[in-house]
Structure 1
Amino acid sequence: MEITRAKIVVPTIRGWSRDENGNWLYFVDETEKIGYVRITQFSATTAADLNKAITQLEGQGLRALVLDLRFNTGGYLQSAADITDLFVEKGVMVSTQPRVGLPTWETAEKKGTHPNYPLVILINSSSASASEIVSGALSDKAYARATLVGEQSYGKGSVQTISDYPGSGAQLKYTMAYYHLPSGQRVNDRWAQQKQNKKDWGVMPNLKFAMTTEEMKNMLEIERDNDVLAAADHKENGTKLKRHNLQETLSSDYQLDMAILVAKAKLIISGLK
């Protein structure tokens, strides 16, 4: 047995399932050309990978897009800003305010901005940090670029950084700022709000659509089955991995099904239907 030592890069961009060659399937409505992309975390390569996937879909006639940020606990602030920049032509996307010192801003550039087709973003209580920056910025009244569907986000509200600890070879991760959305609204911290008996933390969806624990469990099991790379000799015999078709997948994921419905409604409203 040979074991190869190498750096493992975990892809952060996924579709709703894979084809027989292991490639991601992104269209959840072939007729209306509605695409679906799930972002699992915000790494250094996520924005570039998302841009590649969306460009591929646009070449296949993409007319509306659903971005899934559910269960995405965050990642790099710069990655969140770069992804927001894919959909916004100009203006402040996010700002950070440290306890001491001046605020900093991330601003959008027109170059590389994708067309203004309907955009729907899925969030839930496990969408945190960078997920809240992207969903909050794109739904902010300053742009109103996206419609949020799902549940209230986690409510992290703060930015961390990592610095070298002098003389020991260790690193220190610490909170250094709060972040604010384009209109200036701060994303409130969950625990601070709960201490004051308040519930306005995180980012609120435009369309609140909750799922029960049992419904979420069933959805995640089907998502897991669709995510796994099958062996070349794989057979669906009930004891091994089962692939689920699109109808089965949507029947288990009521939030995604609702997001597609919202995307269709936006197509009608925008006159693209």
Structure 2
Amino acid sequence: METRTKELAALEKNKKVTKEEAEEGQELLTRMPKLKARQELRKKYEALTDGKLPPDEFAAERAKIKGGMKLSADVAEKYTRDVLRAIETVRPEYVKEITIGEWGANAIKGLYRRVEQPLPDDIKDALKNPKTLARSKVAELIREAREKLGKREDLDDQKDVDTTILMMFAELHDPYTTYYDAATLKKMDAPLRGRFRGVGIQIRRDLVRDGLLVVSPIKGSPAYKAGIQAGDLITAIKRDSDPQGEPLKEGEKTEISTKGMKTEQALDLILGKVGVPITLVVEREGQKEPIEFKLERGIVSVETVLGVKRDKKDDWLWYVDEANKIGYVCLTQFGPSTGRELEAVINKMEKAGLNGLVLDLRFNPGGLLQTAVMVCDLFVDDGVVVSVRPRVGRPRVYHAKDSNNYPGPVVTAHTRFPIAVLVNGSSASAAEIVSACLQDYNRAVVVGERSYGKGSVQNVERFSPTGGEIKMTTARYFPPLGKNIDKHSTPGKPEDEWGVKPNPGFEIKLPREEQQELAESYRDREIIKPKDAPKTPVDKEKADKKPFVDRQLEKAVDYLRNQAKAVAAQPGRKDG
């Protein structure tokens, strides 16, 4: 390398190469470039400095490669148009007022940061005071910034637009405003939609056996109905078509081994169009031969309303203390069907007898605002549920029992039993709306640890130029008593007002090890375990461990027992 750089310096001194070529060559020779065109250029510099390529031929070869790196005017124009459309999509509604110049500066700086290129001096100078930039100047700078990067594979096929929008939002330092490109959307299980298209299994890589381990089938899914079990090892995937039902292309395999396969690759093969068949080949503990499961992809509903544990039919049991009729419901997220499913569970328990309810919102990251309002409606019969205050426009105040709050009939409020809501540092957004509302009306005590502190509301909009989605913060929400929930609107210190705090006397902080045990117990609870399966070493190891004691849940149940006893002890009380 040193010999080549010295030779290049000598060529410049003898005017065989220009200063620009020498500087470019020094950079390429001292560091291996990532881009293919620049790698080819590096080879030409190596040949030049090794004496294998005369300077005049080198100049011609270099010019040819550089010509291929030039971005066409049409591509630059479309890129500029799409980025401006993204800016104009978010600018009117974003929770903070940001000028078009600042949005443009974020887009350009973000793009260059992602591709690890220094911002050209002329563009850097033009962006020194972005607030003053007019739309026309912003468009000019966006186009120029893209043209300077040229044609390159990491920005081909609209990846330039995808990358720019994503990084433009990253410059905001707002973790809830982001962009999902079309490929990412396909891989997402669409948790807020509550459903996805596939066979219905949770999988992870098994490094020891080099295959895909079935963590659990999902209740009611094609895989569950076919008999796929937790612990099965998927060793191969067979198919007659691609996941969308289209014929396989020439060279594509009909049977694919899972050896060395990443989970993301497996999901690309397994998720797909409803009705399209797929065969999974599995190895099962205790079985000598592999088992083939011929499945049809279907709509798989994600369970968001969980009970204490599963019964023999894999249905949930809803009483944490059946003798005292203390119910338990855990909401994993606030999806489209969560409210109606919870309503059905509450109705079922009330018919059987319900003296108290634990509503577990720990580890719940949130979800749909309208679902959170519906859940509040199940337990509150009057008053403000939540207020949403945007930057522009009038605030929207959600009142209990308003038929405009969510689709379908208004739910009946259940007010005859006490409630304890469990929260922790991973309870966020919609989970905080519910816990704060019930706490403000003294409808429930909040038990556990201070919640996450996500007091903002996001809108999701389809971005048609790319097929992606833009998720942006548009407002902040406030519970009935108007307390601040949003940690990001404060310095975030413990003494500041943010999040939902447990009621006095009901805070139980868990050390890190206990938090991990709690999270593990949550994961284990969701697994649908095979019936009469031989015990694995892992099962035996878990059986030998001391059972995990959920101190926060115990505190909630003790409170509800005492409340139920106090009610029962009231003179003249009659049921019915």
Tell me the TM-score normalized by structure 2. Answer: 0.44
Query: Which of 279, 300, 303 is residue 8 of structure 1 equivalent to?
Result: 300
Is it true that 1:122 corresponds to 2:414 in the alignment? no
CA deviations on 1:75-134 (whole Å, 9 max, x unpaired) are 000010000000011111011000111000211128511132010000000000000000
CA contact (8 A) 2:307 2:330 kept: yes
Query: Which of 93, 98, 104 is residue 390 of structure 2 equivalent to?
Result: 98
Is it true that 1:155 corresponds to 2:459 in the alignment? no
Report the CA distance between 1:196 and its aligned residue: 6.8
Q: What's 1:191 paired with?
A: 488
Query: Which of 148, 170, 182 is residue 468 of structure 2 equivalent to?
Result: 170
Q: What's 1:73 paired with?
A: 365
Classify 1:53/1:210 alpha carbon distance in 2 versus 1 (closer, same or farther; 3 Å).
Answer: same
Following the alignment from structure 1 to structure 2, what is the Cα–Cα distance between the partners of residues 47 and 197? 33
Q: What's 1:64 paired with?
A: 356
Helix, strand or coil at the partner of 2:373 = helix
Is it true that 1:260 corresponds to 2:557 in the alignment? yes
Q: What's 1:25 paired with?
A: 317
User: Does 1 or 2 have the higher relative contact order (CA < 8 Å, sep 6+)?
Assistant: 1
Classify 1:149/1:197 alpha carbon distance in 2 versus 1 (closer, same or farther; 3 Å).
Answer: closer
Is it true that 1:146 corresponds to 2:444 in the alignment? yes
Q: CA RMSD in A?
A: 2.3
Classify 1:166/1:5 alpha carbon distance in 2 versus 1 (closer, same or farther; 3 Å).
Answer: closer
Count residues with an aligned counterpart.
Answer: 266
Tell me the TM-score normalized by structure 1. Answer: 0.89
Task: Tell me the amino acid that sits aligned with residue 112 of structure 1.
Answer: T
CA contact (8 A) 1:81 1:93 kept: yes
CA contact (8 A) 2:343 2:411 kept: no
Classify 1:59/1:190 alpha carbon distance in 2 versus 1 (closer, same or farther; 3 Å).
Answer: same
CA contact (8 A) 1:226 1:243 kept: no
Helix, strand or coil at the partner of 2:530 = coil
Helix, strand or coil at the partner of 1:121 = strand
Helix, strand or coil at the partner of 2:296 = coil
Classify 1:169/1:225 alpha carbon distance in 2 versus 1 (closer, same or farther; 3 Å).
Answer: closer
**Higher fraction of helix:** 2
Following the alignment from structure 1 to structure 2, what is the Cα–Cα distance between the partners of residues 241 and 134? 39
Larger Rg: 2
Helix, strand or coil at the partner of 1:3 = strand
Following the alignment from structure 1 to structure 2, what is the Cα–Cα distance between the partners of residues 27 and 241? 27
Classify 1:44/1:241 alpha carbon distance in 2 versus 1 (closer, same or farther; 3 Å).
Answer: farther
Q: What's 2:519 paired with?
A: 220
Query: Which of 506, 509, 512 is residue 210 of structure 1 equivalent to?
Result: 509
Report the CA distance between 1:55 and its aligned residue: 1.1
Report the CA distance between 1:8 and its aligned residue: 1.9
Classify 1:153/1:197 alpha carbon distance in 2 versus 1 (closer, same or farther; 3 Å).
Answer: closer
Report the CA distance between 1:237 and its aligned residue: 5.7
Structure 1 unmatched ranges of 5 or more? none
Following the alignment from structure 2 to structure 1, what is the Cα–Cα distance between the partners of residues 482 and 510? 31
Task: Tell me the amino acid that sits aligned with residue 565 of structure 2.
Answer: I
